[in-house]
């Protein structure tokens, strides 16, 4: 796990040669073990290394091929690299690293090597003879890759801040991205909050060469027409168990101490159980507990830890300690998001215990239907009688219902009831929305809001007449969740917060072979009559009953209480910073904050916290407007 940087000028390198060191320094936290630079007449490549596999200095980067024709910078892990290496007997390997395997595979197979890789990665390969560049990002978007592309050059990095640190990009916000952030507490790929700065989307490659020019290509899509499983229920459960078990075992390849995050929920408990089966030593597990009992899952985590006899570490967190960690956590917020500090806390404590790599249960909810949205969308679409009323007739009913309830949920139901169509992508765009459009219009000067990015993404993925339409209905929701909320909030935050502490995080539920199989499973086998029933039934023999027969809590800090008390002044300072930006309406932020303090039903802590983070990020990065 590392950080990569690059500046390629198509007509010859004329930039300051020290810029690549400046970019490297800005992401030193991603790679504290080693750093390196490659320079030639066209390109500068930089790398910071966190050593996990083959910690020998021979594997430091930028990595050059034996014939000195190729140079690579690589961030991530390839879990099946030993199997791939056995197919490359004609290459004279000098190291035991997956880095060299990636380079050798590309030299032999070209971009077809991507199909062979099982892992998380972003990398760039430079051919010194042909002056061609190849960049790629993993299928599920676990590892980041940002870039700025002009007629003269491409600047790329694992980090937004690294690109900003180069001084080559104007620090100007993209207005549509700001609205996207206010709606969804993030900015969806391929965009970022900065004008002209983009993300390579998951499963995408970019080649720049004389023959093809500049060419983007998707080598993997989540909405592929996967072969629907024809297995019966028992065999489906056996296959799920096998794929999850294999995924966990693959992710235990490391030359450093490792452990696991253990929340006491279904996903992390399964991972810890499987780790205990295949690992010959006690597994180190880590969980956050709170002095406020209603937020703590500590007793469930301890039950799982006792069952599998792990070396368990409880991280008890109170308001004062969390308050002290907030500035530190946000300092590693590479791109603003409404989530993250919780992951930072557990990552920091895990790293302090001597662990350099940890497994996480992230992805289980999205893949196996763990969220309420999987029931809610299906339930709403089953109400065919609603469609018999035209939208104009439903509108008064929707408004009346919202006026009666006045909650976040009722505001979303109001928007859904006014829709012309009840196809999944039309409904879905509101479920992950944080601030509703009427609230956004009250804090922004512009009332001309663009179409929802969540709609555009899901419509392209699973809309009518797309390949994704052939997927089972619950799988279409999974594809939407993975491609929006998971990739652009959960994975981004997990990467930037764990890497901020020098910890590599691996996510077994996002093995692409597991994802492809589960997306092809028919709904009747995984319909969530209880949370993640297919997953639970596949592992019921190793799960304590208290883990799967309890109400889902999720890993949520007691923000609301803290923001009104211990963190109140901290929040106000960052909200006040937003007044400096011309996009915000005078008094809009203050009114929203006042509503939160008074307990307004529509202005919960999760509607305010993303604004606090935004104010902090804009100030810390000196964004002009």
> Dihedral through CA 336, CA 339, CA 340, CA 341, nearest 10?
110
> What burial class does residue 108 get, using C-beta atoms within 10 Å of its C-beta: 0-12 exposed, 13-18 middle, 19+ buried?
middle
> Which of 2, 101, 355, 515 does the annotation list as catalytic?
2
Q: Where are the alpha helices (DSSP H) in 137-186?
A: 160-165, 175-184
Residue at token pair 């929920």: 265
Q: For residue 571, indicate whether it is catalytic.
A: no
In 344-496, beta strands by DSSP E: 357-359
Close Cβ partners of 200 (under 8 Å, ≥ 6 residues apart): 122, 135, 136, 137, 145, 146, 147, 189, 190, 206
Q: Cβ–Cβ contacts within 10 Å for residue 524, how many? A: 9
Strands 311-317 and 284-290: parallel
Cβ–Cβ < 8 Å for 553, 271: no
Tokens of 119: 């892992």
Cβ–Cβ < 8 Å for 522, 472: yes
Tokens of 568: 């109140």
Close Cβ partners of 248 (under 8 Å, ≥ 6 residues apart): 271, 274, 275, 278, 359, 508
Question: Angle at which helices 605-620 and 319-330 pack, to 10 degrees?
Answer: 40
Cβ–Cβ < 8 Å for 334, 161: yes
Cβ–Cβ < 8 Å for 80, 117: yes
User: What are the backbone dihedrals phi and psi of residue 314, each rounded to the nearest 5 degrees, phi first?
Assistant: -95, 130
Q: Which of 346, 268, 336 is nearest to 304 (CA)?
A: 268
User: What are the backbone dihedrals phi and psi of residue 127, each rounded to the nearest 5 degrees, phi first?
Assistant: -100, 115
Tokens of 100: 């060299």
| Residues taking part in catalysis | 2
């Amino acid at each position: 796990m590392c950080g990569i940087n690059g500046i390629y000028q198509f007509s010859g390198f004329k930039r300051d040669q020290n810029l690549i060191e400046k970019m490297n320094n800005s992401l030193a936290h991603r790679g504290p073990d080693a750093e390196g630079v490659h320079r030639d007449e066209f390109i500068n490549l930089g790398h910071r290394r966190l050593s996990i596999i083959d910690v020998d200095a021979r594997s430091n980067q930028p990595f050059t091929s034996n014939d000195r024709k190729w140079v690579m910078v690589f961030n991530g892990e390839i879990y099946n690299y030993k199997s791939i290496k056995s197919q490359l007997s004609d290459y004279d390997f000098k190291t035991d690293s997956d880095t060299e395997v990636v380079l050798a595979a590309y030299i032999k197979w070209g971009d077809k090597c991507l199909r062979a890789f099982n892992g998380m990665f972003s990398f760039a390969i430079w051919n010194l003879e042909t002056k061609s560049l190849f960049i790629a990002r993993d299928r599920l978007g676990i590892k980041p890759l940002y870039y700025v592309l002009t007629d003269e050059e491409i600047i790329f990095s694992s980090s937004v801040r690294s690109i900003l640190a180069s001084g080559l990009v104007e620090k100007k916000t993209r207005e549509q991205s700001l609205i996207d952030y206010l709606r969804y507490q993030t900015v969806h790929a391929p965009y970022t909050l900065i004008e002209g700065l983009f993300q390579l989307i998951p499963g995408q490659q970019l080649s720049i060469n004389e023959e093809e020019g500049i060419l983007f290509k998707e080598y993997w899509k989540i909405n592929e027409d996967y072969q629907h499983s024809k297995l019966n229920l028992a065999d489906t459960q056996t296959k799920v168990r096998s794929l999850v078990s294999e995924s966990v075992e693959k992710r235990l390849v490391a030359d450093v101490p490792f452990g696991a995050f253990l929340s006491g929920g279904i996903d992390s408990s399964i991972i810890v159980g499987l780790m205990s089966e295949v690992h010959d030593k006690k597994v180190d597990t880590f969980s956050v507990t709170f002095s406020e009992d209603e937020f703590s899952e500590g007793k469930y985590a301890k039950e799982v830890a006792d069952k599998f006899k792990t070396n368990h570490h409880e991280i008890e967190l109170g308001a004062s300690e969390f308050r002290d960690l907030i500035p530190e956590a946000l300092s590693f917020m590479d791109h603003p998001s409404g989530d993250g500090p919780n992951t930072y806390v557990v990552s920091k404590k895990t790293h302090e215990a001597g662990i350099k790599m940890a497994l996480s249960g992230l992805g289980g909810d999205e893949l196996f239907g763990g969220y309420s949205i999987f029931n809610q969308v299906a339930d709403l679409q089953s109400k065919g009688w609603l469609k018999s009323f035209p939208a104009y007739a439903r509108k008064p009913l929707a408004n009346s219902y919202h006026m009666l309830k006045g909650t976040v949920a009722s505001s979303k139901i109001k928007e859904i009831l006014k829709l012309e169509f009840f196809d999944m992508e039309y409904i879905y765009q509101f479920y992950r929305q944080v601030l509703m459009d009427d609230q956004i219009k009250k804090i922004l000067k512009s009332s001309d809001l663009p179409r929802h990015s969540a709609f555009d993404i899901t419509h392209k993925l699973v809309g009518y007449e797309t390949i994704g339409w052939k997927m089972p209905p619950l799988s279409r929701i999974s594809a939407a969740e993975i491609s929006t909320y998971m990739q652009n909030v959960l994975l981004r935050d997990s990467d930037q917060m764990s890497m901020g502490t020098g910890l590599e995080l691996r996510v077994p539920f996002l093995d692409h072979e597991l994802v492809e199989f589960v997306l092809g499973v028919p709904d009747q086998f995984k319909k969530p009559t209880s949370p993640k029933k297919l997953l639970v039934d596949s592992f019921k023999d190793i799960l304590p009953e208290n883990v799967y027969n309890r109400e889902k809590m999720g890993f949520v800090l007691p923000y609301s209480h803290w923001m009104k008390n211990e963190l109140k002044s901290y929040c106000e300072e960052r909200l006040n910073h937003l007044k400096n930006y011309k996009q915000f309406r005078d008094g809009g932020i203050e009114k929203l904050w006042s509503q939160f303090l008074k307990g307004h039903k529509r202005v919960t802590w999760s509607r305010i916290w993303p604004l606090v983070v935004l104010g902090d990020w804009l100030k810390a990065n000196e964004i002009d407007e």
